[in-house]
Amino acid sequence: EESLQMWDLNKRLEAYLARVKFLEEENEVLRAEIQSTKSSPAGDSWRVKYEEELRALRDALDHAFREKCTAELARDNLYEEVQQVKSRCQKEQAAREEAKKQLSLSRKELEEERRAQIWLKERAVQLEKEVEALLEVHEEEKAGLDQEIESFSHSLESFRCAPVAFQPVEVEDYSKRLSEIWKGAVETYKAEVSQLEGSLCQAKENLWKAVEDNQQSQLQLQHLEKDLAGLKARKEMLEESLARQWQEQRGEAEKFQLAMEALEQEQQSLRVQIARVLEDRQQLMHLKMSLSLEVATYRTLLEAESTRLQVPAG
């Protein structure tokens, strides 16, 4: 029975030793492969290649971030320019409204000047008619006075021998008074006519001034409309460029996001492969340790058996 047990143990030991030898050879092969992959330029090139790709992608990411920052700065500048354009448009709109108000006021003043001119013309015609009527009345009164003077002179001729006390002093006084009244009326008419002419000239000057102000306001309104059209065109152009930059930036961000996702997936797969290799290596190390323990156990058993067999023989 002991010889059978020893024979079984020897068979198992041979099997374990063969397995240990096979595993050691496989371990050596794997170690050689690992060393070759570590020392070979292909592995270094692979690692350098991935490091270069990672460096290039990091540089591209930094470049994209810088471009994003510049695009944001450009966007902020464009927003400020748009706000300035809006404020300028509002100012020009207010100036346009003010010009419209001034134009309406100048039109009202022009209408008032026209009405004043028409009233002055009507007043001048009325005064001319009144002067003509006064002239007619004066001519009639003068003719009547002449007739009275002639009749009175005829009556005086009949009294040639009359004393000096009966000379026509009252008639002369009456004629002097009439001439003074006539002169006063003529001077009053002249003063009124000169006043009307002065007011008419002033009305003409005001009319010309209002026309010139109207023309200047129209020119200013045209300039403001041209500036407003130019600012609207510039605003549309800035909005189009801003939208284009936003689209380009969004496309570049999507591209970089896809590249980063691909790199992360590749990194994850590399991590999984490295973890698998480390796990296999750890399993091999555990297997080697278990086999070495078994071999040590069998060696101790064999040594104990050999010493037990040698003692009775001694």
Length of the chain: 314
At 115-136, the pLDDT tens digits run: 877 887 887 788 778 778 877 8
- What span, in angstroms and rounded, lies between the C-alpha atoms of 175 and 188? 20
Give the Cβ contact number of residue 203 at 10 Å: 20
pLDDT greater than 50 at residue 161:
no
CA distances from 164 to 39, 128, 158, 167, 237 (A): 168, 45, 15, 6, 111
Task: For residue 102, name the pLDDT band (cuts at 50, 70, 90).
Answer: confident
Give dist(CA 70, CA 76) in Å, integer: 10
**C-alpha–C-alpha distance, residues 180 and 173, integer Å:** 10
Read off the pLDDT of residues 191-221 as tens digits, 9 standing for 90 and up. 877 787 777 788 778 778 877 877 887 888 8
More confident site: 49 or 303: 303
Is the model's pLDDT at 160 over the cut of 50? no
The pLDDT value given to residue 164 = 44
Mean residue pLDDT of the chain comes to 79
**Sign (positive or negative) of CA dihedral 243, 247, 248, 249:** positive
Task: Tell me the C-alpha distance between 58 and 186, whole Å.
Answer: 107
Mean pLDDT value across residues 145-169: 57
Q: What is the pLDDT of residue 153?
A: 62
Q: Determine the average pLDDT of the residues in 282-288.
A: 83
86-100, 124-138, 244-258, 262-276: least confidently modelled range:
124-138
- Write down the pLDDT at residue 270: 83
